[in-house]
């Protein structure tokens, strides 16, 4: 049995994992959804990492950290502080030492990649982010309706302005899993970013940016396969 520590992206909250957790349990594993202090302007990357560390500390057996989207900035910080058997980057942002999350967008060419994806899909590119179009396009309607009714989780801008503090990537086995239908972080864009910054391949599966909501069964199976491949 392994324990999956699930780190959400910006404004994601613990709810984003609610469909995945029972699927991991059905495979015999525990899962802890990390509650990041996203609404606290005093909290930055250190405090986000503290929350991940608190979730991982004291866990018996293998710990696998799964970092969604902006969770890619905080989860590696926690992996440098507690024993982690595997870090899975899920449609995630990959930081460079000293880079802020706010700088990441221009540094990676994200706007151009997102616009190009829209054109390829026959949509009109826009700078404005549309939650339904960019994030929930492949999430079941009833789950999308529930998410919209909740109104989302507040996200402070504080962590976006703080330089990523590690001098290099932590010494932990790392896998990168990307939804091939992600409109916000297109697959080809992520392949290039991950190749340049981590030097590892990008695995892919069907689905968009919110795989834990749109394809929880398939995602749980892929995470369990990673666990087995790494002997955890």
Residue 12 pLDDT: 84
Of the CA atoms within 13 Å of residue 48, those in its CB half-sphere come to 32
Domain limits, the chain: 2-229
Sheet containing 62-68, strands listed edge to edge, beginning at the edge strand earlier in sequence: 30-33, 2-7, 62-68, 86-90, 174-179, 203-205
Low-confidence ranges of the chain (pLDDT < 50): none
Extended beta strands in the chain, E state: 2-7, 30-33, 62-68, 86-90, 174-179, 203-205
**C-alpha span between 142 and 210 (Å, rounded):** 15
d(CA 190, CA 193): 5
Chain-centroid distance of CA 32 in Å reads 14
CB 194 within 8 Å of CB 188: no
2-229 placed in CATH 3.40.50.1820: yes
- The pLDDT score that the predictor gives to residue 183 is 98
Q: What is the pLDDT of residue 146?
A: 95
CA torsion angle 15 173 84 78 (round to 10): -70
pLDDT tens for each residue of 49-85:
999 999 998 898 889 999 999 999 999 999 999 999 9
The pLDDT of residue 205 is 98
* Residue 65 φ then ψ, to 5°: -95, 130
């Amino acid at each position: 049995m392994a324990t999956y520590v699930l780190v959400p992206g910006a404004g994601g909250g613990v709810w984003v994992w609610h469909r995945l957790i029972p699927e991991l349990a059905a495979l015999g594993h525990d899962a802890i959804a990390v509650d990041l202090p996203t609404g606290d302007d005093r909290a930055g990357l250190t405090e986000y990492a503290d929350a991940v560390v608190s979730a991982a500390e004291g866990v018996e057996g293998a710990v696998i950290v799964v970092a969604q989207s902006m969770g890619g900035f905080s989860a590696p910080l926690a992996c440098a502080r507690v024993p982690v058997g595997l870090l899975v980057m899920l449609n995630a942002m990959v930081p460079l030492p000293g880079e802020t999350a706010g700088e990441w967008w221009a540094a990676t060419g994200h706007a151009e990649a997102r616009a190009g994806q829209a054109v390829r899909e026959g949509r009109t590119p826009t700078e404005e982010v549309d939650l339904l179009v960019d994030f929930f396009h492949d999430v079941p309607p009833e789950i999308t309706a529930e998410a919209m009714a909740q109104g989302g989780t507040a996200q402070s801008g504080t962590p976006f302005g703080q330089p990523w503090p590690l001098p290099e990537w932590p010494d932990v086995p790392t896998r990168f899993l990307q939804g091939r239908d992600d409109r916000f972080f297109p697959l080809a864009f992520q392949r290039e970013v991950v190749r340049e910054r981590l030097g590892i391949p990008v695995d892919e599966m069907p689905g968009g940016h919110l795989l834990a909501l749109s394809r929880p069964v398939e995602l749980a199976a892929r995470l369990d396969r990673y666990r087995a491949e790494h002997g955890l």
